[in-house]
């Protein structure tokens, strides 16, 4: 949209129609410039959103690092759970052995 330059001729300001013409010219020019600014802002907003989306979706280095750290954390938790399970298994086995010994010592039939 092309905007005309405002007439700076002093003869145009002498009559009232010249003043009204200048007023409407300035008003229309401001409206046209405002519309262009709004359109440019919309395009910039779309561009920044597209860039953000591109960076989020195509940041493979970040994704790889995040996946590796999550896998390492999962492995640590799994090893800790296995150690706890083994410790509990050993404790239960020891308890069962002690109970078997006590049962054999105190409740066996003696002939």
Residue ranges of the domains in the chain? Answer: 1-58, 60-111
Phi–psi pair at 91, nearest 5 degrees: -60, -45
Query: Residue 107 gets which letter from DSSP?
Result: S
Per-residue exposure over 66-83, b if at least 16 CB sit within 10 Å of its own CB, e if not: eeeeeeeeeeeeeeeeee
**pLDDT over threshold 60, residue 4:** no
For residue range 55-84, what is the model confidence (pLDDT) as tens digits?
887 777 877 888 999 999 999 999 999 999
Say if CB 13 and CB 19 are below 8 A apart: yes
| For range 29-51, the mean pLDDT | 95
**pLDDT over threshold 70, residue 109:** no
pTM of the model: 0.42
The pLDDT of residue 27 is 92
Tokens 């066996």 belong to 108
């Amino acid at each position: 949209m092309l905007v005309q330059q405002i007439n700076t001729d002093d003869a145009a300001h002498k009559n009232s129609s010249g003043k009204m013409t200048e007023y409407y010219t300035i008003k229309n020019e401001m409206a046209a410039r405002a519309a262009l600014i709004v359109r440019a802002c919309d395009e910039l907003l779309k561009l920044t959103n597209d860039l953000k989306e591109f960076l989020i979706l195509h940041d493979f280095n970040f994704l790889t690092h995040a996946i590796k750290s999550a896998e390492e954390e999962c492995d640590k938790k799994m090893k800790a759970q296995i150690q706890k399970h083994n410790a509990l298994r050993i404790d239960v086995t020891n308890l069962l052995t002690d109970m078997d010994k006590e049962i054999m010592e105190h409740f066996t039939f003696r002939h």
